[in-house]
Amino acid sequence: MRPDDATLTREGLAPSGRGRVLLIACGALAREILALIGQNGWDHLDLHCLPAILHNRPDRIAPAVEAAVIARGAAYERVFVVYADCGTGGDLARTCERLGVGMVEGPHCYAFYEGVADFAEKGEVTCFYLTDFLARQFDAFVWTPLGLDRHPELRAMYFGNYTTLVYQAQTDDPALTALAQSHAERLGLGFERRFTGYGDLAGALARA
């Protein structure tokens, strides 16, 4: 059964208990990881997602990952962490190194969807990125936590220096594209859709 976004945001996803390699991932990547596992027949991978809302509290990511590795890792041959740095300032990489587990390269999921090297080269500092998951969960991750539901007048203080909302599409979904475009309008930003597919995520999981 496909996990719903609200559960992935607040609770995450428990592992199935099958497979030799445990993926400990951000809940925002659950659907994409499950799709890749299904497409490639990677039955050796089991997926455990932490609540995606940790995205908004990067200081809590490394401790949460460490707790998950300690709690669940012993039941598997190895563990692979499907987070990028995600604003932890290197904390997550240091934690993974200490625990002897691998993790995905790059600063954010925005970077590995687009390809870490391409993303860095573009250097689009005035772009605000949404993935499929974040487009669906825009209110929970952006609009409400920033108080824009209660105080839309704060919009310029948050987004006045941005120019464009870039929607990195993992799937072809016209309804989701329209939704992402409506988010751009709410933020007063230009809109660009880029189809990225799963980007570097597929390669990272193949090596997990």
Which residues make up the interface to other proteins (CB under 8 A)? 58, 85, 87-90, 107, 123, 125-126, 146-148, 150-151, 153-154, 157-158, 161-162
- Smallest gap from Cβ 192 to other proteins, in A, equals 17
For other proteins, the closer CB: 78 or 151: 151
Give the whole-angstrom CA distance, residue 129 versus residue 168.
7
Contact 79, 69 (CB under 8 A): yes
Q: How far is CA 38 from CA 44, 114, 125, 181, 194, in A?
A: 11, 21, 35, 29, 24
For other proteins, the closer CB: 17 or 90: 90
Task: Please count the other Cβ atoms lying within 10 Å of the Cβ belonging to residue 179.
Answer: 16
Give the whole-angstrom CA distance, residue 13 versus residue 164.
32
For other proteins, the closer CB: 77 or 97: 97
Helix orientation angle between 61-72 and 91-99, rounded to the nearest 10 degrees: 20
For other proteins, the closer CB: 116 or 134: 116
CA torsion, points 193, 194, 200, 205, in degrees to nearest 10? 50
Q: Which two tokens stand for residue 194?
A: 């880029």
- Smallest gap from Cβ 109 to other proteins, in A, equals 14
- Smallest gap from Cβ 102 to other proteins, in A, equals 20
- Smallest gap from Cβ 143 to other proteins, in A, equals 11
- Smallest gap from Cβ 157 to other proteins, in A, equals 5
For other proteins, the closer CB: 52 or 84: 84
